[in-house]
A = this chain, B = another copy of it.
Amino acid sequence: MTTHTAPRQQRAPRQDNRRQPLLDAAAALFRTRGFHAVTMREIAREAGMLAGSVYYHFSSKDDLLVSVYEEGVRRITERVAEACQDAETPWAKLEAACCAHTEMLLDESDYAQVILKVMPEDVPSGQAQLIDCRDEYEGLFRDLVDALPLAASVDRTIFRLTLIGALNSARNWYRPGGKSPAEVAREIMKLMKNPLLKEGSQI
């Protein structure tokens, strides 16, 4: 007697599938209010459905956050990698990367901004996954910094982390209408590249 494994026929997703609007809503809410302050009912309502329906697409709130986070890293990685390729010198590559990074964080993508707002420790079940994502993205900048012609006395690790930290901190004070995100990024890089001292002054 043969074992009848059910055919388990698979079908293409329907066109009216609302997984994407759901992710978008979650990204927007997580970005502005953080993981713990947002409820499944809010996310669902924003996507035009009920809370229970979300569980057809995601197994838990944590799972939903991880998906948003991964998509955020995917998008910013894509943009930054693309921006680097157009530049020629190591410094120009880094600058292009910083501009793209800052643009994503300051006005373009809810997804990318979730990366700054949500900390891995907020989601114990997916902590390792989020950290891996972040590390992979940071590796991009490690390569760019390693390629720079820096004085031997400069600690490249601290330089890299400080640069990214400085760019990210713009999120706390940037307001649209003044300098553009790219201008902010260039200004910050200028600070770290040029001497600040007034000519003739002593330290």
A56 at the interface (CB under 8 A from B): no
Residues of B within 8 A of A165 (CB): 165-166, 168-170, 172
A96-141 at interface with B (beta carbon < 8 Å): 119, 121-122
Selecting from A8-16, A42-50, A189-197, the interface stretch reads: A189-197
A40-63 at interface with B (beta carbon < 8 Å): none
Residues of B within 8 A of A172 (CB): 161, 165
In the bound complex, what is the Cα–Cα distance between A37 and B119 (angstroms)?
12
Nearest-Cβ distance from residue A72 to partner chain B, whole angstroms: 17
A125-169 at interface with B (beta carbon < 8 Å): 148-152, 154-155, 158-159, 161-162, 164-166, 168-169
* Of the residues B122, B150, B164, B166, contact of A196 by C-beta under 8 Å: B150
In the bound complex, what is the Cα–Cα distance between A169 and B170 (angstroms)?
11
Interface residues of A (CB under 8 A from B): 32-34, 36-37, 89, 91, 119, 121-122, 148-152, 154-155, 158-159, 161-162, 164-166, 168-170, 172-173, 184, 187-188, 191-199, 201-203
- Contacts A36-B37, A158-B187 given; 10 further ones with Cβ under 8 A? A91-B203, A151-B198, A161-B169, A161-B172, A162-B166, A162-B170, A164-B169, A166-B166, A191-B192, A195-B195
